[in-house]
């Protein structure tokens, strides 16, 4: 049941017009009241549950098929804007961090999408006037966690890794909407040709700074209806994710395993890097997510990919491949702290790092049995927390003297890829690289023995 009738039983009959500088706020008064109400309802639902913000938005928009793209954009930007700036908005206005109606009103006023008279009529509360006036308040004297728009516990955890200026710069970058990066499918097209084709359609792109097959767009117009996408000439994939694929660096003819393939974004890239030659097994414990890979690989023109749903690391499909793989990519389940640009709701979820760490370690241990002598394990997360990254690698190496850490910088440099601040491990973040936050490490087996089977999951 929609929360809108309960939250907003009446709408004011009139309101002042929005400021003309912002086209996004134009429209009928009734429509703009609905934008406010729907954004508040969605934020309330996100805060009360565990469903990701994008899925909550999708669910609400599906129930409103008459709602145009521009109106959906206003609501989505309001929801994501409040999630990004929740603490600083609340602090500036002197209101609670879950007073969603006040936070939405403050965000829209802050963005110049509406004026104060309109907002006050919508709120129906003249007592809100002072809170809206306080939006002009600076956060210079606010606590660090407020300025960073983080929960206290996350701010404290990250201050063990970053200096205060570094953390503020990182969080400022995380609070910006992410661009849309695409990866050109080199089995079917060249990057220059796709860029020229998109430019001719008025879809301006720029080259990704580091990924050799990537293009970047800074507006959100959808690309999925384009013939070039339907023909498999490109996929949407963040540059950081593309760089992980280049760190795997699979060769044509090899046997490769994408252990946590999900819907197959990295699988498609690995298949293209292999020139569709060799064997690429894509596994996941979610058969539903894996189902999405089959039409994608057909569209991409890949014939070497085999999707396999598994029950865990002791699944028979994996046991039959003991010691068979040249390279194994583990895109491990993680906190997603590197994806706050796209998923700002994750900042406000309770983290269970202990459970995540257990899963991450178990995946590495299970993958050891599947790897050939001299084979490579590539461990990756979209996390910026050392507990999920460096610590996991350190623990693994301490228990596996038959493995060594290879230099991520050298592997990428061999392909002409030279992002700054990359050493033995790949650590990317939006402040330094303009990408999602990502981590990856390459571990190579140096001994010739393959461990006996043992249950790890």
Alpha-carbon dihedral angle through residues 412, 392, 341, 230, given to the nearest 10 degrees: 60
**Start-end of H helices in 320-403:** 353-368, 390-399
pLDDT-derived band at 280 (thresholds 50, 70, 90) equals very high
Task: Name the nearest CA neighbour of 375 among 248, 252, 264.
Answer: 248
Report whether pLDDT(13) > 80. no
Which tokens in the block code for residue 252?
């044509």
Domain ranges (residues) in the chain: 4-142, 239-445
Q: What's the whole-number mean pLDDT along residues 179-189?
A: 98
Output the pLDDT for position 448: 57
Share of the chain above pLDDT 70, in %: 90
Contacts of 388 (CB under 8 A, 6+ apart): 332, 334, 335, 353, 356, 357, 360, 381, 439
Full-model pTM: 0.89
Output the pLDDT for position 133: 76
Output the pLDDT for position 210: 98
Output the pLDDT for position 7: 28
Measured distance CA(180)–CA(193) in Å, rounded: 18
Measured distance CA(231)–CA(97) in Å, rounded: 46
Output the pLDDT for position 272: 98
The yes-or-no answer on residue 382 being catalytic is: yes
- Are 361 and 396 in contact by the 8 Å Cβ rule? The answer is yes
Measured distance CA(20)–CA(253) in Å, rounded: 60
Token look-up 């407020």 returns 146
Report whether pLDDT(29) > 90. no
Judged by average pLDDT, the poorest of 30-39, 91-100, 220-229, 439-448 is: 30-39
15 or 62: which leads in pLDDT:
62
Alpha-carbon dihedral angle through residues 388, 389, 395, 399, given to the nearest 10 degrees: 120
Q: What's the whole-number mean pLDDT along residues 174-185?
A: 96
Report whether pLDDT(227) > 50. yes
Report whether pLDDT(22) > 50. no
Report whether pLDDT(416) > 70. yes
Output the pLDDT for position 49: 84
Output the pLDDT for position 447: 67
194 or 5: which leads in pLDDT:
194
Share of the chain above pLDDT 90, in %: 77
pLDDT-derived band at 336 (thresholds 50, 70, 90) equals very high
Q: What's the whole-number mean pLDDT along residues 28-47?
A: 85
Output the pLDDT for position 50: 87
Please give the span between the terminal C-alpha atoms of the chain, in angstroms, as a whole number: 39
Output the pLDDT for position 5: 27
Report, at the CATH architecture level, how domain 239-445 is classified.
3-Layer(aba) Sandwich (3.40)
Contacts of 153 (CB under 8 A, 6+ apart): none
Residue 434, number of CB atoms within 10 A of its CB = 20
Q: Write down the catalytic residue from 171, 260, 334, 382.
A: 382
Q: What's the whole-number mean pLDDT along residues 110-136?
A: 75
Which tokens in the block code for residue 203?
């879809």
Per-residue pLDDT tens over the stretch 251-279 = 999 999 999 999 999 999 999 999 999 99
Judged by average pLDDT, the poorest of 130-139, 143-152, 438-447 is: 130-139
Report whether pLDDT(24) > 60. no
- Are 378 and 328 in contact by the 8 Å Cβ rule? The answer is yes
Report whether pLDDT(348) > 60. yes
Side-chain half-sphere of 381: how many Cα atoms within 13 Å? Answer: 26
Report whether pLDDT(4) > 60. no
315 or 220: which leads in pLDDT:
315
Per-residue pLDDT tens over the stretch 73-120 = 889 999 999 999 999 999 998 999 999 999 998 898 888 777 777 777
- The mean pLDDT of the chain is 89
Helices (H) and strands (E) in the chain, counts: 21, 12
Residue 312, number of CB atoms within 10 A of its CB = 13
Judged by average pLDDT, the poorest of 18-27, 85-94, 426-435 is: 18-27
Output the pLDDT for position 3: 29
Task: Name the nearest CA neighbour of 119 among 10, 38, 12, 24.
Answer: 12
């Amino acid at each position: 049941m929609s929360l809108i009738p309960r939250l907003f039983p009446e709408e004011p009959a009139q309101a002042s017009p929005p400021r003309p500088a912002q086209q996004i706020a134009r429209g009928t008064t009734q429509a703009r009241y609905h934008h406010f109400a729907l954004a508040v309802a969605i934020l309330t639902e996100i805060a009360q549950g565990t469903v990701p913000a994008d899925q909550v938005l999708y669910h609400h928009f599906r129930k409103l098929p008459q709602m145009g793209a521009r109106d959906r954009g206003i609501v989505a930007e309001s929801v994501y804007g409040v999630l990004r700036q929740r603490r600083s908005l609340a602090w500036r206005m002197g209101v609670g961090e879950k007073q969603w109606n006040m936070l939405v009103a403050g965000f829209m006023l802050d963005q110049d999408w509406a004026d104060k008279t309109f907002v006050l009529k919508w709120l129906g509360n003249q007592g809100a006037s002072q809170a809206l006036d306080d939006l002009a308040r600076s956060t210079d004297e606010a606590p660090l966690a407020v300025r960073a728009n983080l929960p206290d516990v996350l701010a404290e955890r990250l201050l063990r890794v970053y200096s205060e200026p570094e953390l503020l710069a990182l969080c400022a970058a995380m609070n910006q909407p992410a661009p849309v990066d695409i990866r050109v499918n080199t089995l079917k097209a060249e990057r220059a040709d796709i860029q020229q084709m998109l430019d001719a359609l008025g879809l301006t792109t720029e080259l990704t700074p580091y990924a050799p097959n990537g293009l970047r767009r800074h507006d959100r117009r959808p690309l999925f209806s384009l013939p070039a996408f339907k023909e498999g000439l490109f996929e949407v994939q963040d540059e950081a994710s593309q760089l992980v694929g280049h760190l795997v660096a699979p060769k044509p003819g090899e046997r490769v395993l994408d252990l946590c393939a999900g819907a197959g974004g990295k699988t498609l890239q690995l298949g293209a890097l292999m020139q569709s030659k060799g064997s690429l097994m894509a596994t996941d414990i979610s058969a539903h997510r894996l189902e999405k890979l089959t039409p994608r690989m057909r569209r991409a023109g890949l014939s070497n990919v085999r999707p396999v749903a598994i029950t865990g690391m002791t699944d028979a499909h994996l046991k039959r491949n003991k010691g068979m793989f040249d390279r194994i990519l583990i895109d491990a389940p993680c906190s997603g702290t590197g994806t706050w640009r796209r998923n700002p709701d994750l900042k406000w979820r309770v983290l269970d790092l202990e459970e995540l760490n257990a899963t991450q370690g178990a995946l590495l241990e299970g993958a050891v049995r599947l790897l050939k002598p001299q084979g490579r394990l590539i461990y990756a997360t979209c996390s910026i927390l050392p507990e999920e990254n460096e610590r996991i690698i350190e623990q693994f190496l301490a228990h596996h003297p038959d493995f060594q850490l290879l230099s991520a910088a050298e592997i990428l440099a061999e392909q002409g890829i030279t992002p700054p601040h990359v050493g033995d491990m790949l650590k990317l973040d939006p402040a330094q690289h303009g990408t999602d936050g990502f981590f990856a490490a390459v571990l190579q087996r140096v001994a010739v023995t393959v461990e006996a089977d043992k249950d790890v999951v």
